Amino acid sequence: MSGAFRISGAGRLSQAKTARFSFDGQSYSGIEGDTLASALLANGVHLVGRSFKYHRPRGFLSAGAEEPNALVEIKRDAARKTPNVRATVQELYDGLAAQSQNRWPSLAFDVGAVNDIASPLFSAGFYYKTFMWPKAAWKSLYEPKIRAAAGLGVAPDQPDPDHYSARFAHCDVLVLGGGAAGIAAALAAAETGVRVILADEQAEFGGSLRFESGAKIDGRDGFAWAQAAITRLKAMDNVRLLARTTAFGYYAQNFVGLVERVSDHLQNPGRELPRERLWQVRAKRVVLATGAIERHMVFADNDRPGIMLASAARTYLNHYGVAVGRNVGVYTANDSAYAAAIDLKKAGVNVAAIVDLRDNPTGPAIDEARALGIEINFGRAVIRAGGKLRVSSMTVQPKNGGGERTVPVDAILMSAGWTPSVHLFSQSRGKVAFNDETKRFVPGIYAQDCVSVGACNGTDGLSATIDEAYAAGAKAAKDAGAKAAKGTKPKVDASESWSRGMLGAAPGAGPDTTVKAFVDFQNDVTAKDIRQAVHEGMRSIEHVKRFTTNGMATDQGKTSNMHGLAIAAETLGKPIPQVGLTTFRAPYTPVTFGSIVGHARGQLFDPTRKTAIHPWAEAQGAVFEDVGQWKRAWYFPKAGDDMHAAVDRECVTVRKTAGLFDASTLGKIEVVGPDAAKFMELLYTNPWEKLEPGRCRYGIMLREDGFIYDDGVVGRLAADRFHVTTTTGGAPRVMNHMEDYLQTEFPHLNVWLTSITEQWAVIAVQGPKSRDIIAPLVEGIDMSDEALPHMSVREGKICGVPTRLFRMSFTGERGFEVNVPADYGQAVWEALWAEGQKHGACAYGTEAMHVLRAEKGYIIVGQDTDGTVTPNDAGLDWAVGKKKTDFVGIRGMSRTDLVAKGRKQLVGLKTKDPKVVLEEGAQIVGDPKQAIPMKMIGHVTSSYWSENCGRSIALALVAGGRDRMGETLYVPMPNGTIEVEVAGMVFFDEKGERLNG
Amino acid sequence: MLLIRCPYCEEERPELEFRNAGEAHIARSANIAGESDDDFEKFFFIRSNPKGIIYERWRHMHGCARFFNAVRDTISDKFIMTYKAGEPKPVKLPGVAK
């Protein structure tokens, strides 16, 4: 026997398979097939948590996914700690270790419980009012304290070592919910041969048949029938069964997200199994069979451990063989709680009394309870529960007032009725309708190809449910293209019936009272809080929800929403449908980040792009930096070099002899066709028609608003062929921009665009010795200045492979960019490197490249520009074709504000102290003595130490900058103000003689 | 995730393959340089943002890479139809009462 409350002969678990587990360090014994909740209850443990705000002792309310109270931490090891696990769904395994949450120093003695006494301070919306001042205290004092005191579990502090997988799936009929309705629908659909997926959140299919002892289908006990039906479905090739799988979100076009818990129930999952699997299913038809959730009664101190839903007590008894007490009371407003009393009584548990709010209900359940000798009190209410860590009594009073009577009990089973689970229907954007007679919201207008069946559709009774579900399953299959069904409908031999129940607060918790009658257990919202919200002016149910936090906890108000709505409606004096229902949002139950992220973490988060020359740079000990998805060699340190030493050496070597630079990441687009030049005229500010084949031009691309979008050197290979280069990060968007205009604005142009970024490796050889390094390896290209002047391009061969050889410079030195097919990139680089070695050349990285270009005042789009810089602002007016009548951005560029005086212009800055290097992004002011906040007139965009200039250099955007040459400006920094002088943008070789040097 | 029918591929494909490209049927003037401030404002800045039927551009980015137009209901998120770039704005929409 595992636990004193396990009843011999009750339940479906095999007593033979015991499992040891611990809760708060205490060891217990359970049975395989138990949940953590049933195993604890079998050991007589009800107290499992402290509430969110008042730290009140809490026990199990439910036996399922709707559980608001019994949240625990499950710890497998230091890294695998899962907080906020509902003990009612966590399956037991041998060695499971669970901890209670939100209590200190212990669960039974919790200092935070002082909040319960001080509760007038913490009424609804208290944090909006109480902690308003002093303002600064919110961040430093109130928020951290409130967060520490209020709360759920503690998030894990180590990376998650588990892995999570994901599957996409398509099916004809997706059935969500594996109770009687879901199974019947799945059978009907599957028998036609269409592809069916049936998913259920529990470990075993069967839904409410787990506790409905009165259900008989096809001659057997309901749960046994369910297992037999599942065995049949499992044998069909066209059916996929997903147990332990929660449909958490219903999205557009019958796209449903499900999470399958693959290994949380296993003792030693092993590395080969994922922890969870995300299913993204596209279904032609969806059948919703999500059932209904029982509601609690709203009365004073209804949260004491031992007070639970009647159906939960039945589940613990009929499925797990556990009695939730030895002397139970029942408080109900509908018939279904009688069944719990009857089952427990038959199992030998004393039922102290049934208290029924209704006046004179009749029916077989009542007759049977009476026949068993159970005391029944009609027209009476439980007005309060006694006990603290465990319920000890219930106080009964006639519902219209009168003498009180206290009945000792160790558990109270309650039922206020059943709420259809319309969550997924509502998420599908279906509109719910309020049935005034049954006081429940049921599916009304459908927005997608789905159908609701059974309890979630407001259908009462097993017989009607099976009829409806079987017909719906067959129709869904037919609508999805099935021929004809050949199965037979399950026959219901006996069933239980549910009646209506009540919504809102019970007597004794009415408007004239101040008792704590909980509506939302997880967020500690009482009936009084909801009334207070209305009294303080909340009119919309959405406002009431946010003010009180009713329904905002991780259980998303599964048990509380309808009660909260009814109390708000009553206080507002409006009928329920006029007050409306809050929106149901995904996820239905909490979903781990792991399952959403799946394999897309670490190295698999984003692709890493490496150039053909990457292995060489790696072997040389290069330090890399990330540029978009690319890894780029940042600098090449020699032994003992820090970054500055390496960059200084590289910069000096390039200007003294030469340097090799891997420019392969530059975006490259080939623009080809009879209208290629016309297209270029429209996409770039520059004129292209007259550019001779074999020549290059620096091009600027604008957006339609007139701001710089990208730049790059463009070579005209032939009359109808341009080799366009873009910035490294800009390649995809430039391609998209070009395609957009070509396809939609200028479709008459006969042009083709091809991305060739990865086709060509690019080796920049820059410096006075660059030609000497390249020339010996080149065939078929005259390398003389006359034949190959600056800004020209030739096709030929290098090292025997084809090359597009550009004479161009991003350093201000004589320079070349050698394009070769990427497969030959490293080989050609190595050959050039060998030649370079003879001249003392170096390899240089992106940092040196940045310094060298800044010494020449060459801009980098995205660094020196920010999407609000015009060509004129950047000093690039010369690159705008003055005679052109059209190009993208021509009109935007001439907008009033864009040609106004005082715009920020790109200029150079020299610090008065040449050794001081400014910080990029630093703000610039005209008068450092002015009052704070100072008027900022610009900011530093690029700043480096230039070893070649022997001083720091910087570029900056400064208001009216070009009219301020020689002016002194100030850069206020935390450690003092730095004086700078406005200068031209070129710091080195102002005349540009070195291009041919 | 939405399913979108590419009018060039003539196939419904998942939203992951597509990229939205803003409102459709906003013509760029042949004489854009000579446009008034008001006209340029309308062309460049003003968008309709309706509650209901919207005409918009999409690109089958990770498919045929073509830009096309779509009619979508911003309330239900449903694609009512898609058609090729350059085709006229459809007046009669399937399944939409006018």
Are the beta carbons of A804 and A855 closer than 8 angstroms? no
Neighbours of A366 (CB within 10 A): 19
Segment A768-789 mean pLDDT: 97
For B3-84, CATH number out of 2.60.40.420, 2.40.50.140, 3.30.2270.10, 3.40.50.920 equals: 3.30.2270.10
CA–CA dist A322, A347 (Å, integer): 10
Provide the CATH number for the domain formed by A295-418+500-579 in this structure: 3.50.50.60
DSSP letters spanning A761-773: EEEEEESTTHHHH
Contact B57 A890 (CB under 8 A): no
Give the residue on A whose Cα is nearest the Cα of B26. Answer: A745
CA–CA dist A287, A290 (Å, integer): 9
pLDDT value, residue A150: 64
Of A744, A886, A894, the CB nearest to B67: A744
Of A253, A705, A894, the CB nearest to B44: A705
Contact B3 A282 (CB under 8 A): yes
Contact B67 A736 (CB under 8 A): no
CA count, 13 A, side-chain hemisphere, A723: 25
Contact B28 A745 (CB under 8 A): yes
pLDDT value, residue A155: 86
CA–CA dist A939, A962 (Å, integer): 14
DSSP letters spanning A739-758: HHIIIII-TTS--EEEE-TT
pLDDT value, residue A486: 77
Size of interface A-B (CB pairs under 8 A): 50
CA–CA dist A724, A734 (Å, integer): 10
Q: Does B57 touch chain A (CB under 8 A)?
A: yes
Contact A253 B2 (CB under 8 A): yes
Neighbours of B92 (CB within 10 A): 7
Range(s) of chain A covered by CATH 3.10.20.440: 18-121
CA–CA dist A480, A283 (Å, integer): 9
CA–CA dist A671, A719 (Å, integer): 11
**Range A67-90 burial, b when 16+ CB lie within 10 A, else e:** bbbbbbbbbbeeeebbbbbbbbbb
**Minimum distance, in Å, between the CA of residue A574 and any CA atom of chain B:** 28
Give one word for A429, left, alpha or beta, with left for phi > 0 and alpha for psi -120 to 50: left
Q: Which CATH architecture has domain A164-292+420-494?
A: 3-Layer(bba) Sandwich (3.50)
Give the residue on A whose Cα is nearest the Cα of B62. Answer: A736
- Provide the total of helices (H) and of strands (E) in chain B, helices listed first: 1, 6
A587: preceding bond cis by omega (within 30 degrees): yes
Contact B85 A736 (CB under 8 A): no
Amino acid at A399: K
Are the beta carbons of A862 and A729 closer than 8 angstroms? yes
Q: Which of A150-154, A522-526, A533-537, A917-921 has the lowest mean pLDDT?
A: A150-154
Segment A10-34 mean pLDDT: 94
CA–CA dist A808, A858 (Å, integer): 13
pLDDT value, residue B1: 82
Residues of A with Cβ-Cβ distance to B37 under 8 angstroms: 895-896
A811's tokens? 């350093």
Chain A interface, best mutation among B46, B67, B83, B89, by max A CB count within 10 A: B67
Query: Which superfamily does CATH assign the domain made up of A662-853 to?
Result: Probable tRNA modification gtpase trme; domain 1 (3.30.1360.120)
Distance of CA A525 to the CA centre of its chain: 28
**Separation in Å, CA A234 to CA A205, A224, A240, A432, A982:** 12, 15, 7, 34, 79
Of B32, B66, B85, the CB nearest to A886: B32
Contact A252 B65 (CB under 8 A): no
- The third-level CATH classification (topology) of the domain covering A18-121 is Ubiquitin-like (UB roll) (3.10.20)
Work out whether strand A350-356 and strand A327-332 pair parallel, antiparallel, or are unpaired.
parallel
Interface of chain A toward chain B, CB-CB under 8 angstroms: 251-253, 255, 280, 282, 429, 447, 704-705, 736, 739-740, 743-745, 747, 885-886, 890-892, 894-896
Give the residue on A whose Cα is nearest the Cα of B77. Answer: A252
Of A255, A894, A896, the CB nearest to B1: A255
A220's tokens? 């057997």
Q: Which residue has the higher pLDDT, A129 or A806?
A: A806
**Separation in Å, CA A282 to CA A360, A497, A840:** 50, 35, 63
Instruction: Report ipTM (2 d.p.).
Output: 0.97
Instruction: Please give the share of chain A, as a percent, with pLDDT higher than 90.
Output: 88
Range(s) of chain A covered by CATH 3.50.50.60: 164-292+420-494, 295-418+500-579
CA–CA dist A686, B30 (Å, integer): 19
Are the beta carbons of A957 and A869 closer than 8 angstroms? yes
DSSP letters spanning A339-391: HHHHHHHHTT-EEEEEEESSSS--SHHHHHHHHTT--EEETEEEEEEEESSSE
| Tens of pLDDT, residues A314-365 | 999 999 999 999 999 999 999 989 999 999 999 999 999 999 999 999 999 9
Chain B interface, best mutation among A743, A895, A896, by max B CB count within 10 A: A743
CA–CA dist A270, A268 (Å, integer): 6
Q: How confident is the model at residue A368 (pLDDT cuts 50, 70, 90)?
A: very high
The distance in angstroms from the start CA to the end CA of chain B is 28
**Separation in Å, CA B53 to CA A345, B25, B96:** 62, 14, 9
Q: CB neighbours of A113 closer than 8 A, spacing ≥ 6? A: A50, A54, A55, A56, A57
Across the strands, what pairs with A951?
A946
DSSP A97: E
Q: CB neighbours of A512 closer than 8 A, spacing ≥ 6? A: none
Of A253, A743, A747, the CB nearest to B3: A253
Q: How confident is the model at residue A555 (pLDDT cuts 50, 70, 90)?
A: confident
Q: CB neighbours of A985 closer than 8 A, spacing ≥ 6? A: A857, A875, A906, A907, A908, A955
> Please, what is the average pLDDT of chain A?
94
Nearest one of A469, A476, A451, A468 to A195, comparing CA atoms: A476
Of A736, A744, A885, the CB nearest to B85: A744
> Which class for A180: exposed (0-12), middle (13-18), buried (19 or more C-beta within 10 A)?
buried
Provide the CATH number for the domain formed by A857-996 in this structure: 3.30.1360.120
Of B33, B59, B67, the CB nearest to A886: B33
DSSP letters spanning A546-557: HHHTTT-STTTT
DSSP-based three-state secondary structure for A904: strand
Contact B32 A890 (CB under 8 A): yes
CA count, 13 A, side-chain hemisphere, A19: 25
CA–CA dist A467, A345 (Å, integer): 32
pLDDT value, residue A271: 87
Q: Does B46 touch chain A (CB under 8 A)?
A: no
CA–CA dist A554, A742 (Å, integer): 50
**Separation in Å, CA A543 to CA A434, A462, A533, A550:** 20, 38, 8, 10
CA–CA dist A174, A186 (Å, integer): 8
Give the residue on B whose Cα is nearest the Cα of A257. Answer: B1
**Minimum distance, in Å, between the CA of residue B67 and any CA atom of chain A:** 7
Residues of B with Cβ-Cβ distance to A282 under 8 angstroms: 3
Residues of A with Cβ-Cβ distance to B1 under 8 angstroms: 251-253, 255, 280
| Tens of pLDDT, residues A853-876 | 999 999 999 999 999 999 999 999
Residues of chain B with pLDDT under 50: 98
DSSP A971: E
Give the residue on A whose Cα is nearest the Cα of B33. Answer: A891
Q: How confident is the model at residue A283 (pLDDT cuts 50, 70, 90)?
A: very high
Chain A interface, best mutation among B44, B66, B72, by max A CB count within 10 A: B44
CA–CA dist A807, A822 (Å, integer): 19
Check pLDDT > 60 for residue A616.
yes
Contact A447 B76 (CB under 8 A): yes
Neighbours of A807 (CB within 10 A): 26
Residues of B with Cβ-Cβ distance to A892 under 8 angstroms: 40, 44
Q: CB neighbours of A174 closer than 8 A, spacing ≥ 6? A: A196, A197, A199, A254, A256, A281, A283, A285, A286, A287
DSSP B52: S
Q: Which of A102-111, A182-191, A678-687, A946-955 has the lowest mean pLDDT?
A: A102-111
Check pLDDT > 70 for residue A623.
yes
CA–CA dist A76, A93 (Å, integer): 11
DSSP A138: I
| Tens of pLDDT, residues A142-167 | 666 666 666 678 888 899 999 999 99
Residues of A with Cβ-Cβ distance to B65 under 8 angstroms: 739
Range(s) of chain A covered by CATH 3.30.1360.120: 662-853, 857-996
CA–CA dist A651, A90 (Å, integer): 63
pLDDT value, residue A648: 98
**Minimum distance, in Å, between the CA of residue B92 and any CA atom of chain A:** 22
Contact B35 A739 (CB under 8 A): no
